[in-house]
Amino acid sequence: MTFTRSIKIAPSILSADFANFGQEIQAIENQGADWVHVDVMDGHFVPNLTFGPPAVKAFRPHVKTVMDVHLMISPVDAYIDAYADAGADILTAHLEAGPHIHRTLQAIRGAGMKAGVALNPGTPAEAVTHLLELTDLICVMTVNPGFGGQKFIDMTAKIRALRAMIGDRPVHIEIDGGVTPDTAPLVAAAGADVLVAGSAVFKGGSVADPAPYGANIRAIRDAAQGAQAAA
């Protein structure tokens, strides 16, 4: 993974057809997805239950780009090796999920993955001040985690603070929640470069008719790139 600040679109397969994950992953990549975002939820840290390591391992052969695995689980550390074995390229843990995020990020890198830290809407940017040297990605939640299709919460001030804090470090700022062609320019202008989108990518399309996926991805990318260039 070569680091760049170019806009990357990471469709969340939480919005895909659950009976056709392999084909859905291939379809979004063929239609221009840069990364594939996998939302792991445990029904404990967040009020929903999704994929465990065996499912992520089953997705892996279909992902030709980057498999970006977002753990909305607590505890995290006991499962790091399982997600490494499943083939995650990036593993993101929530700062709020346990008392020892520093140790967690070390363990993720130690298992051979890029390390991400996610911040809920109520967690300030300053919470990661002492984690930047251990972090490859900061995921700013623009919804309260747990469900797809929620309304966007404006976190542009937090994103700007993070971007200033990061400076020239090779750390991505990822946005997760409510990303559409309308909200993408706000976060891109503030400094985000990875945009997770679920329903906004998958709406109107299917494995049999994937062209709408491409149109949706291009609409989000174009809106974000225009704002990034103007910032």
| Total Cβ atoms within 10 A of residue 54 | 9
Q: Is 146 left (phi over 0), alpha (psi -120 to 50) or beta?
A: left
Catalytic position from the list 34, 42, 176, 193 = 176
DSSP letter at 222?
H
Q: Mark whether 222 is an active-site residue.
A: no
Q: Mark whether 39 is an active-site residue.
A: yes
In angstroms, the CA 144 to CA 74 distance is 16
Q: How far is CA 110 from CA 67, 90, 99, 103, in A?
A: 18, 12, 19, 10
In angstroms, the CA 175 to CA 157 distance is 13
Catalytic position from the list 34, 39, 42, 68 = 39
Q: Which residues are catalytic?
A: 39, 176
